[in-house]
Structure 1
Amino acid sequence: MKHVNFYAGLFALITLFSCNSDNVVKNEPSANEGQISLPAQAPEYTSVPVEGQYIVVLNENALGNAASRMDVQGFSKTMMQKYEVEITEEQRYFSNRSFQGFTARLDAHQLNKMSSDPMVKYVEQDQMITLAPMQTSEYVATASQTIPYGTTRVGGGKSASPYTAWVIDTGIQMNRPDLNVDASRSKSFVGWFFPNPNDQNGHGTHVAGTIAAKDNDIGTVGVAPGTTVVAVRVLDRNGSGTISQVINGVNYVGNNARIGDVANMSLGGANSTALDDAVKAAASKGIVFAVAAGNEAQNANNVSPARVNAANVYAISAMDQYDRWAYFSNFGSAVDFCAPGVSVTSTWLNSGYNTISGTSMATPHAAGVLLFGSPSTDGVVQNDPDGVPDPIIHI
C-alpha cells in the first residue's frame, strides 16, 4: 500500500521483477521540470505457464512443528506416492516454517486429487518469467571513481551497513574487486548439477553495485558502500526462471538471513499467490524486502510480489534525476516509495559498468537505504499517474 510500514518493531528490501526489461537510456533527460521521464523504449516482461508443472502449498498444520527440508521432502514424497505422481531429481521443496510445499508434475486427475487433499492449502500452476532483452551501453572501464546521481539523491555513499543485502536475481559476479560478495552464503537455484551463483547475465551484478559498490577510488559508489552482499541466483543467463525457483530463493533468504537484513527483488510478474505468501513468510521473520513495482506502466496491484501488503515489504517505483516519474513504472496504492531508476550506472559483467533503466534499478537504491533501518523521505515524485505522489526514499 502507499504507506510507510516500519519494520514491525525492528526495521523493516532486493526484488522480483527482474524488472521486466531494464533498458538503457542513451539520451540524457532534459532539464524541463514539467515532463515525465521517457527512456529509449518501454520495458516489457513475459510470463508463461509451465505446462503440467504445479506448486503445491501445504496447510500450516500439515507437518506440525516439523520444518526442515528433510521433513518437507519426506512428507511431500508420501503425498506424491499416494496420488501416483512421479518423483524426479528436479523436484523442489519449500521448507520455511510458515510456508511449506513442493513442486509436482500433475495430470488433470492428479491435480484434482491433490487440490482436494485436506493437507493442501492450494495448488498453483508454475510460471516461467523472463526478462526482456536489455539494450545495453558499451562497457565503461571506469578508472576513476564516480558517485551516481541516485546514490546521492537517496543520501547514500557514506558508509557500510552492519547488515547483509541478499540479491535475489541472476547472480553476482563473484570475483568483483569493488563488491564485498559473501561466496560462502551465496547460492544458486538454477540448474541441478553443480549450480553456480556467478552472474552470467549482468542484471544481478548491476543491482548489487547500486546497493553496495565500494568507495575505493574506482568505478561507482553504492548507497551502502562496502556492505556484504549475497548472491541468490534464481534466473539464468537469459534472465529466465520459474516462479518455483524464485520461491526457493525467497525461502533460502528466509531461513538464513537475520533480522534487519535486506532482500532485493528486482523481478516479478503475473499474479502468484505462492510467491506472495513466500515473501510474507520470510518478511514475518524481520527480514526486509525491497521489491520492484514493475515496468508495465500499470497498477502494481496486478503483479507479484509488488502487490504484497505486509510489514517489512516495500514496493518501489522509479523516477529520473529530476524527480520526474519514469513513464514505464507501475503505480498505485501498492507502491511505498519512489527511487532513481532512469539512466542508472552500476557494476556489470567482466568488471565493467553499464547504464540501464527500470524499477529494477530503483529498487536497490531503496534496499541500500533500508540497510540502515527505518527510512526517511525527501520530497515526492512529480507527475505520479495515480494522483498520489510517491514519497522519495532517503536515509
Structure 2
Amino acid sequence: MMNNSTLFKALSGLALASVVTLSGCQKEDFMEEQFQTNAVQVNAQHGQAIPDQYIVVFKNGSNKLSSTGVSAMTIAGRSATVAMRERMLLATGIEREAIKQTFEGNVNGFAARLTKNQLEQLRNNPEVAYVEQDRIIMLAKPGTDNTTTKGNGGNTKGGTDTNTKGNGNGKKNTTEPTPEEPAPTEPTPTEPAPTEPTPSEPTPVEPIPVEPTPVEPAPTEPEQPTSAYTKITPLAGETLPWHIAMNGFGDGTGKTVWVIDSGVDTDHPDLNIDFQRSVSLIYGDASIEDGFGHGTNVAGIIAAKNNGTGMVGVAANASIVALRVFDNTGYGTVSRAISAVNYVNNMAKPGDVVNMSLGAGISSTLDNAVTAAASKGILFAIAAGNSATDCSVNSPARVNAVGVYTVSAMDRYQNFWASSNYGAPVDFAAPGVSATSTRIGGGIGSAGSGTSLAAPHVAGILLLRGEVFSQGTVNGDKDSWPDPIASVE
C-alpha cells in the first residue's frame, strides 16, 4: 500500500506538466486524479501580475558598468550600483521590508512592492531604464492527459541530419541542387577543332571539383572539438529509462549544469551536487533543499550518476549547481528567475549549461539576462511550455540567440505531445512524456510529462557535446516546421 508520505512525494514531484497513466494500476490512477485537481488550482495564479510588485532596472551606462556583469565590475563599479539603489530607496521612501530582490550584474536594479507614488517617481527617474511588473511563475500546470497512439514499434527515425542550432530557429529546409546536368549538350561541341583549343578550359574545370572537397572537412570541423565525449555502459543495478536511451547518454564528469528550479534533494545518492555554488534566491529562505520535487526530477534526467543504483542521466555524474527560485508549493516569481540568471552570468564559465524548466508571460528583463549570459558562451536549455500555444509570447522560451535552445516535448513514438508549446523559437523536440527520474526522498519513479522534462535532455546533450545533433523530425508538430529530434549524435 502507498502511505501518505510516499504519495505526497510522488505528487509534489510532478510540475509544469500533466501526469499520464503509465499502467492500469489503481494506485497510479488515484495519484493522477489528485494531482490534476491541484494543477487546476495552481494554474489560476500562473503568469498573473503580482499586485504592486515591480522590477526596477537601472541604466547601466549611467555609472559605466560593464555589460558583462558583476564579475567584470570593479569594486568601485559595484559600490556605485549599491549606492544608486540606496539613494533611490531613500528618495522614494521604500522600506526595507518592501524589497524582494536586488540585482547586481548584467541586470542592475531591484524588485520591490511600490505605492503608486513611488512607482511614478521611479518611472521618471533619469537613472532608471524601465520598470516592469513582477509576475508569478507556478511550476504545476493543468495538463490534459494526452494518450498518444502507439504505432507498430514506433516510427523510424528519418535521415540522420546533423543540425546545429542555437539561433532559436533551427528548422531548416533542404534544397536540391542537381540542375547542372543540362550541360551534357557536349555532343554539339563536337564541332571540329574548337574543342581542341578548349582543352585548357577542361583543366580549370578539374580544380573546381577539388574545391568542394575542402568544403567537406569544414562541416566536420565543428563536430571535432565537441565530439570527444565518453560513452558509458550502465553498471549492473542501473535503470536506463527509455527516454535517456532514445536521446543518448555519456559521461558528464567534470561538466557543470546550473539548474534554476525548486532546489534539489541534497541527500539523493544519485545526484552529484555542488554545495559550494548552489544557492537559494528566495529571500528569507537560504535552503536549497527541494520541497516540491520538480528540481530533483530535472536534475536526475540531466546528470543522474552511473553508480550501480537508481538511473543513468544523459550526462551522468555531471556537477549540479542548484539555484532555488521556487518554494515548497511550486511558487516562484520572474524577479527570482532574473536573480538566478544574474548569478549564473556572474559565476559560470563558457561551456557551462543552464536548465530553465520554467516560464511565464513576457519579461524583457528576463530575456535580456538570458541573452547576455549566452553571449558569454554559457549554454541554455529552456522548456517551451505546456499550454499548447505559440511560445513566442513566453519568456524566456521566446529568446532567439546563439547558445539558447528552446525545447518542445514528444513521446516515445516521436509524436508531438499535445500540450507542448510550439512556434518559431523552438529548436528541438526531446522526450517528455511518461518520463522516469530521481525523486525527493531518494530513489527513482514517474516524473510525469511536460516540456520541463524535455529540456533537461537537451541540457545533458549540451554538457556532453557543446551543441545538439538531431535524428529525424517529430510527428504532428503544430506549426509549419517539424522540430528536429534532439540527439547526442
Please classify the TM superposition score into its range, dividing by the shorter chain length. Answer: 0.7 to 0.9
Deviation at 1:267, TM superposition (A): 0.6
Question: How far, CA to CA, are the matches of 1:352 and 1:80 in structure 2?
Answer: 47
Which residue is 1:150 aligned to? Answer: 243
3-state SS in 2 of match to 1:236? coil
**Counterpart in the other structure of 1:127:** 135
Give the drift of 1:176: 1.4
1:213 matched to 2:304: yes
* 1:166-202 alpha-carbon deviations (Å, 9 max, x no partner): 1000001112111111111110012415x10111111
Q: What is the CA-CA distance between 1:302 and the residue it aligns to?
A: 1.2
The alpha-carbon distance between structure 1 residues 41 and 386, as it changes in their structure 2 partners (threshold 3 A), is: farther
Contact 2:305 2:317 in 1 (8 A): yes
SS at match of 1:330: coil
Which of 388, 395, 414 aligns to 1:304? It is 395
The one-letter code matched in structure 1 to 2:484 is P
TM-superposed deviation, 1:84: 2.6
Give the aligned partner of residue 64 of structure 2: 64
CA deviations over 1:211-255 (Å, ceiling 9, x no partner): 000111211110000111111000001110111111111111111
Contact 2:305/2:313, CA 8 A, preserved across alignment = yes
**How far apart are the structure 2 equivalents of 1:234 and 1:73?**
23
Q: Which has the higher contact order (CA 8 A, sep 6+)?
A: 1
Asked if 1 retains the 8 angstrom alpha-carbon contact of 2:408 and 2:428, the reply is yes
Contact 2:416 2:477 in 1 (8 A): yes
Tell me the secondary structure at the aligned position of residue 171 of structure 1.
coil
Partners of 1:208 and 1:164 lie apart in 2 by 11
Structure with the higher fraction of residues in helix conformation: 2
Distance 2:50 2:331 in 1: 12
Q: Distance in 2 between matches of 1:363 and 1:306?
A: 11
1:94 alignment counterpart? 103
Distance 2:297 2:359 in 1: 17
Alpha-carbon distance in 2 for matches of 1:155, 1:91: 41
Partner of residue 367, structure 1: 459
- Counterpart contact for 2:136–2:360, Cα < 8 Å: no
| 2:120 aligned residue | 112
Matched, 1:249 2:340: yes
Partner of 1:183: 275
For 1:134 and 1:333, the matched residues in 2 are separated by 24
1:291 aligns with 2:300: no
The sequence identity of aligned pairs, in percent, is 44
How many residues get paired? Answer: 358
- Determine whether 1:230 maps to 2:286: no
1:54 maps onto 2:54 in alignment: yes
- Could you tell me which residue of structure 2 aligns to residue 379 of structure 1? 472
Matched residue, 1:79: 88
What residue ranges of structure 1 are gaps of 5+ in the alignment? 1-17, 30-39, 136-142
* 2:485 matched residue in structure 1: 392
Q: What do you get for the CA RMSD once the two structures are aligned?
A: 2.4
Provide the TM-score with structure 2 as the length reference: 0.69
Q: SS at 1:47's partner residue?
A: coil
252 and 348 in structure 1: CA distance in 2 versus 1, 3 angstrom threshold:
same
Counterpart of 1:345 in structure 2 is 436
